[in-house]
Homo-oligomer: A and B are copies of this chain.
Amino acid sequence: GHSRIDVDRRARTGDPEVVFGAGKSPQQVVEILTTLHAAHPDTAVLATRLSPESLDAVEQHLPGAVADRLARTAVLGPLPPARGLVQVVAAGTSDGPVAAEATVTAQVHGARVERIDDVGVAGIHRLLAVRDRFTEADCLVVVAGMEGALPSVVAGLVGVPLVGVPTSVGYGTGAGGLAALLSMLNSCAPGVVVVNVDNGYGAGVHAARVARA
C-alpha cells in the first residue's frame, strides 16, 4: 500500500525533498508533506503542481505551510539561508504562474530571487531599460510563451548563465508551447539552455544550484 518515499535526497544531492502534486489526492499530498517534514524538520520541503483542492487541504491541515495560489506550490518548514542571486525574468502577465513556480523553487533550493516582469520583445525598450540589472545575477531564468524570443535577446546582452522556460501560453500552432520550446532550443544567442514547457520547477532547481555554488 504505502509508497517508497525517497527521504535521502538531501544527503545525496544537497537538495530539499519535493512532492510532485499532479495526479495526487489532497490527502496524499498532506500525508507525504507531513512525512517528509518529520524527517527534515530543519529545512523546507516543497510541493508543486497542486490542484486547488490540494492547496485547500494544505492550508487547512498544515497551518505551518505557505501555499502560493499562482505558483500552485506549498512550502513546509524554514527556507534555507539564501546564497547567490537568481533573477526570474518574464515576458508577459500570462507567464506569471510559471515564473512564480521558478521563484518559489529557487528559494527553497537555497537562492535569493528577484523578479523582472513584462519585458517581452514586442516592446524592446522595456527590456533595454533593465539590462544593467542582469549583470548582478548569478543565474537568469527567462520565461516566455508565444514565440519565446525573450531568452535569445537577453542572452545576447549578458554573459550570465541563462535558463529559458517556454510556457504553454499561445493558440493555434503555439498551443502547448511547442513554438516557444523550439525557439529557445534553436536560439542564435550563445549558451541558452532549456527546460520542458511550463517547467518552472526544473529551471528553479538548476538556477539555485548555479547560484549557491
Contacts and interface: CB of A to CB of B under 8 A. Distances in A.
Which interface class (under 10, 10 to 19, 20 to 34, 35 or more) fits A? Answer: 35 or more
Contact of A191 (B5, B175, B209): B209
Interface stretch (A36-44, A53-61, A74-82, A117-125): A117-125
**Copies held by the complex:** 8
A155 interface: yes
Contacts of A69: none
A198 B186 contact: no
Interface of A: 3-6, 8-9, 12-15, 18, 20, 22-24, 28, 49, 91-94, 117-126, 128, 138-139, 145-149, 152-153, 155-163, 166, 168-199, 201-203, 205-206, 209-210, 213
A191 B24 CA distance: 21
A56 B202 CA distance: 39
